[in-house]
Each structure stands twice: as structure tokens, then as C-alpha cells.
Amino acid sequence: MELSTKVRDLLGSMSLAQKIGQVFVFTWKNPAQAQNDLRLYPGGYIRIFGDVLSVSRDSAGIQENAHIPLIIAADFERGIGGTIGGAIEVVQAMALGAARDAQAAFDAGQMIGREARLIGVNMDYAPVLDVNSNPRNPVINTRSFGSDPEIVALLAVEFMRGLQSAGVASCGKHFPGHGNTHVDSHSQLGTVLGSIEDLDNMELKPFRAAIAAGIDAIMSAHLHVPAVEPGAIPATLSRNVMTGLLRDRLQFQGVAVTDALDMGAIARNFAPEEVIPMAVNAGCDQLIMPHDPEFVVDVLTAAISRGDVSEDRLNEAVARILTLKERRGILSQTSSTAASVCQQINSVGHVARAQEIADQSITAVKNDGAVPLRIDDKILCLDITNWSGERSIFLEPHSFPDHLASGGWHVCSKNMPYPARNLEPWADDIRQQASRYDVVVLAMYAVIQLSSGNIGFSPEIIAAVNQAMGWNDGLQPRVVIASFGSPYVLGDFSRVNAALCAFSQTQASQRAMARALRGVIPAAGQLPVKL
């Protein structure tokens, strides 16, 4: 690959230890841990949770002490505020798929990129390029732009361009496609079936488009792909996938990134001593979130010493990482001050544009005239969630009933008991109370829970809700579903007069749903998946 003079000189000045460290991105746990790990010369860190001021301060502090400017990465797929408090939230990718607006996708990426840069984050492990073709998919689902590869490609590329326009490196994921599986790779090693022709026609289309448009990095999937790799090993560790398919066939020249190495699909099936040299030899340049930083550095050092990994291969990986850092201005970046962060983060303009995008995404899947609601309707809003206490990618306050009640509407909100066990008394109580209301709104939050293996509602919840909707003779309230998560749950519920989807549970999405039910905005989105 062709290197700039700056990258060539920097690479030539680095010691072996500095090159080895450069391929790793460690998990940021706290400032003391991150400072300690600098002695390993990491290429960067990934932030998972925090608030805007502490992340901004931490980013500036760690960069001051780094030998080579660091990648500070994050998973900002649909905004920052879901994981870093105080910053912009937009909508999930599937909501952008429903809005079907390329400018909205670009603006979403650009807003996220601008605010990420403000807090010192310079690489976003987004967009999701997976085509959600399997309704049972428990971990991609609303993180995908939809089930049409052409729409996914179009919107993902615009989102990518928005990020890059703000100076943030973009990383498409999860190669060669995580949409057609029912297994969550956070816990298990799944398989993507189909021939290479099938992959070409579906999974690979968004990756080809992103590569042609100049995406900075591609993240691997911890999935077995028999059409490309006959051995029972995940794409992350397969040279057939990460070099043969990604480099040779798709002609990708950027940084190849592993998905997190602490995920179950890898950690439960392979020892770290195997994983590190296999990943590098497969063609991965950046290895993220290893469980034990010092140990994996020692493993790669020993592998190079034995000749199991060549120094030429290491130099190739480091050159790609340094080239990305140069292209996105990371080698010469400056830090934002606390004052500028407070002034610019979550700005009025960003919040307003995020609301416009959320408004565009609301989609009416069914409506027999029950929506819009009437101002004199008495509304019973039932909060129904699949959350079981496991880690969720995003978990925001359920503010929808309050948005629905704004302007003087009569709304009574009730939550399904948690945990969702022995629900018959609750269902009977709701059935009796419902006669006092004109409308029952089922606010459904079917959210992604990492490692759970399921994004739908349990049979107990489905049975209880349908039991609660089994009206006695007499007044029968209209029933409206307001879905903020997986759209695939709609088929589980009967006796519904209308069903609207937001595909996202951000505050903008919850406000948009309320506005659509009240008739303030049309539910003009287009269904981005097949139901």
C-alpha cells in the first residue's frame, strides 16, 4: 500500500513494542486503568459509558500522555446520549430506514460526528451494514436500516459520509453480514448459511457500496460463514474471509477491525493464545476489547518472536492504522475545552433536526381509523417491555405517556409488573379497568438485550396482554399499538385497531409517536422490513 511521508517516517521510528501495542484498542474502564495501560502503547481505547464532561476531560488527558495520538472509539450507532449522558440522540438505523431519506441519514451521521469530536471521540464503530433479513435476529434488528440491501447500502453510505464530514473515522459492521442469523454472537458462535452467490445478492451489497464510497474501516462478525470458510471458525479468525473475501475480492484497503474479543462467540470457543495470532494472520489490523491487555500484548510479542506472525504483517497492520489516523486528523487533533463542550453539545439545532428525523420515521402498519386520537378520548397507556435486567444497548426513560398527555390530553399510564411472572391478576385488572377508557395504547418496548438470544416478548407477556384485551360485553375501547422496538412483535397481538412503529426508543422517537397519535404529524414512514 502507498504510504505518506509522515506515516512512513512514523512507522520507521517505532519500536517493535510500539507497533505491537498499536494494533490493540483497549476498553476504557477508568482513568487510572487507561493511564496504566499506556505503557503497552495501545492504538486506542473504546468508551462504553460516561457523561460528556468526564469523557471530554478523560480524552484530553489520555491524549496528552500518549506517545502516538490515540483512537478514542465508541459505538455511536444512533446517537451519543444513550451511552454518554448529555449528548445528542437521534434514532435507531431502522427508523432512518423508515424515513427513507438520504439527507436525514447524512445529517444523523454528521450530528453524531460533530458531538463525538467535541468530547474527544474520533472513531465511530458505525454504521451497521447488516441487512436484517431474519426476523428472529436477536442482536441486529432495529440496529439495521432494514431488510432491503439497496436501502441499507444507500442510507448507510450517507450516514458514513456524515460522520466523515465531521472528522470522525467510520467503521462498517459486521462483515460479511450478521443480519441472517438467529444467534447473538455476544454469547454464541452463529452461522450464516447460503452460497457465495446468496451473500453477493444480499449481505455483501452494503459492504461493497461502503467500500466504494471510501469507508475507513470494516469490522468482522464472530460468525461462521461456510460458503467462504469450510472450517468451523468465525470470520474474525478466517483468512478466507478477512483476506480472501474482504481484501482480494472486495478490494478493501482500509483498516480491518475485529468485533470485541471478549464476546462469547470468541471467548468461549478459543483461547487468547490462539485468537490473537489467528486474527492478525487472518487479516485483522485492529483488535478491540481484549479481556487482559497485558496478556494479549505478550501473546502477540511471543508469536512474532516465534515467527508465527511475521513482522511484515505487523507493519502492514500498523501502516493502515496510522494512515487512518492521518486521514481523519487524529495525528494532529486538538482537544475541546469544557466551555466549548457545554456550549455546543446537544445544541438546539441538533435537537430540532433529530426531532424532524424522528417525526419522518413514524410508520402506520395498520389503522382502521383509530388514529389520530380525539382530544376528548380518555386514554389508558400500558407500558410493556421485554427488559429482564440484562444489559441493553440502550435503555432510556419511557416518557411516551407524558408526551402523549402534553396539551391537556387525559392519559393514565400503567406498567406491566416486573419481573413478568404471574401476570393473570394484572391482566384481569386491566380488562376490568379498560371499560372506563376510550382508547388503550399498548406502548411496546421490545429492546435488544445483549446475550439474551431473544428480542421478542415472552409467551407469558403475550398471553397476558391478549388476555387483558379480551373485553367483556359492553364498551370496547379502541386498541392502538405504539411500538418503540422490534416491529416483528406486532403479529403476536390480536384485537388491535391500529399499530404504529417508531423502530427506536430515543426521546425524539417517543415524542414523535405521541405527535403522530395526536394527529400533529402524519405517520408517513415506509415499512423498512417485511412483516
Residues annotated as catalytic are: 186, 259
Cα radius of gyration (the chain):
24
* Contact predicate 479/420, CB 8 Å: no
| DSSP per-residue string spanning 293-326 | HHHHHHHHHHHHHHTSS-HHHHHHHHHHHHHHHH
For 90, other C-beta atoms within 10 Å of its C-beta total: 34
458: nearest Cα among 487, 485, 419, 430 = 419
Residue 495 Cα distances to 145, 440, 467, 476, 499, angstroms: 29, 11, 11, 10, 11
Measured distance CA(442)–CA(383) in Å, rounded:
6
User: Per residue, what are the HEC states of 396-449?
Assistant: CCCCHHHHHHCCCCEEEEEECCCCCCCCHHHHHHHHHHHHHCCEEEEEEECCCE
Measured distance CA(391)–CA(288) in Å, rounded:
19
* Contact predicate 498/364, CB 8 Å: yes
Q: Is 160 in a helix, a strand, or coil? A: helix
Residue with cell 494512515: 323
Which residues, in sequence order, are CB contacts of 339 under 8 Å at separation 6+? Answer: none
User: Per residue, what are the HEC states of 109-138?
Assistant: HHHHHHHHHHCCCCEECCCECCCCCCCCCC
